[in-house]
Amino acid sequence: MSHSSDVGIDPDALASFRKLVLAQGRLLYRDLPWRRTTDPYEIWISEVMLQQTQVSRVDGRWQRWLERFPTVDALAAAQAADVLDEWQGMGYNRRALSLLNAARSVADAGGVMPSDLKELVALPGIGPATAAGIRAFAFNLPGVYLETNVRTVMLHEFYPDAEQVPDKELVPLVEASCPKDAHDPEDDPRTWYYALLDYGYHLKRTVPNPSRRSRTHVRQSRFDGSHRQKRAMVVRALLSYREGAPVSTIAQEVSAEERRAGRPPVEEAYVLSLLEELAAEGFCRDQSGLWKP
């Protein structure tokens, strides 16, 4: 199925595409834990956890998070160190702080997760795709939910031979294909995006990954030994010294971890620069020479 941007979206091609995806969705449906709820807070947590993270890793961690922080108000009342501690192993610690800051904004506004797109994207860490996911899965509202599996389907079906396809080409297709109301439970925004996700997941496992032909596709830089990894090491060290520790102690912790990985120890001055970097982002603070999370 091909698409020509200069002639617009062909209605027959779009109808055929929608029929195909809905059929694939019924055939390939994955009964995932976060699909058994429509609670906006629970959906939000799942959407953030699933960003660049395998489903198998999220299943279990999502449930554990909700046991510890069962509501948006419970998360808002938590200490940053506890939120970071629960997030360890999920990668991208910034996401945990964004969740905390967004929860506090929602709690301050009355504790109800918004359904409005503009209100959602105004919250820390919530971009257009995450907002569209919350709207579709929690509120059954239409939107442009362009995440990696959705992108995979669009590229496979509409751009089978193209390279470097920009998202601006895909957005009109995603928008046009999404049903506009929730009156048909077999073809509403929630069901439609589940079908796209499951078909995209299937395609990634059965054909050369179409999403690599997207202009947005970037190969992940090496993590082992990187600045990003050392930041994560410093965060872990901070979490093990809740009452605070001097730079020298944190440097020793990071150096020990580096040696176990067969890499040279880190300089104390470098660890200090990492702490200052993290402090500027709200991860930690210097209190009379002791660094605390």
Active site residues: 47
Whether the CA torsion 91, 97, 102, 108 is positive or negative: it is positive
CA distances, 50 to each of 25, 44, 130, 193 (Å): 19, 10, 10, 15
Using N-to-C axis directions, what is the helix angle for 40-49 and 128-139, rounded to 10°?
140
Cβ-based neighbour number of residue 289 at 10 Å: 9
Structure tokens at 36: 């058994």
Q: Is 176 exposed, middle or buried (0-12, 13-18, 19+ CB in 10 A)?
A: middle
C-alpha pair distances (Å), 91 with each of 52, 53, 58, 61: 9, 8, 11, 12
CA atoms within 13 A on the CB side of 56: 1
Q: What are the residues whose beta carbons fall under 8 Å from the beta carbon of 109, sequence distance 6 or more?
A: none
Who contacts 229 (Cβ-Cβ below 8 Å, separation ≥6)? 223
